[in-house]
Amino acid sequence: MENNCDDAAQGRDKEKFVQTVREHKGTIYTVCYMFSKDTDEVNDLYQEILMNLWRGFGSFEGKSDIRTWIYRVALNTCISIDRKKKRKPVRLNMDIDLYEDTDTDTRQVRMLYNRISRLGPFDRAIILLWLDNIPYEEIGEIVGISAKYVSVRLLRIKEELRKMK
């Protein structure tokens, strides 16, 4: 009898987890795309984030908003993988044409994302959250700094992005 109760509780947790992931799929993919433009790598990051979310889902206490927790797990996962990746040599894929879309807006967006990708993982996370219109307080909660320091970091990040060539 006790085993049936455990199975039912686990089934409810699974349903709740699936619903939560469905509701926040865009948030997870936003983080993944900030760390990679390669479709296969984005899918690998997504799967890794899902595994980490599932591992922590039962212990999520609701002290913060679920979206904040998901951002934190997603960013920490991608930052960890990014650090490991930087230790390995990278092979460039030259099968793409960076100039196929010559629209001015597209070029500016591409330039912005190229510059953002050159930032360190912490700064990349902060600018990603800011671009996603997350309030400073929530950004601070996600990355573990004060809202005031978020504003200071953003000023420095924006200045660094302006200076990049």
Q: Is 56 within 8 Å of 73 (Cβ atoms)?
A: yes
pLDDT in tens, 27-47: 999 899 888 888 899 999 999
d(C-alpha 134, C-alpha 127), whole Å: 10
**pLDDT tens, 49-62?**
999 999 999 888 88
Residue 52 CA to residue 49 CA, distance in Å, equals 5
Query: What's the pLDDT score for residue 94?
Result: 43
Give 71-138 as a DSSP string.
HHHHHHHHHHHHHHHHTS--PPP----TTS---HHHHHHHHHHHHHHTS-HHHHHHHHHHHTT--HHH
If you average pLDDT over residues 128-141, what whole number do you get? 89
Q: Which residue type occupies 42?
A: V
Q: Which domains are delineated in the chain?
A: 1-92 (1.10.1740.10), 97-165 (1.10.10)
Phi, psi of 164 (to 5 degrees): -65, 145
What is the reported pTM? 0.63
Q: What share of residues in the chain are helix, strand, coil (percent, to 5)?
A: 75, 0, 25
pLDDT at 3: 55
Task: Give residue-wise pLDDT tens across range 62-114.
Answer: 888 899 999 999 999 998 888 777 655 444 444 444 455 556 666 777 788 88
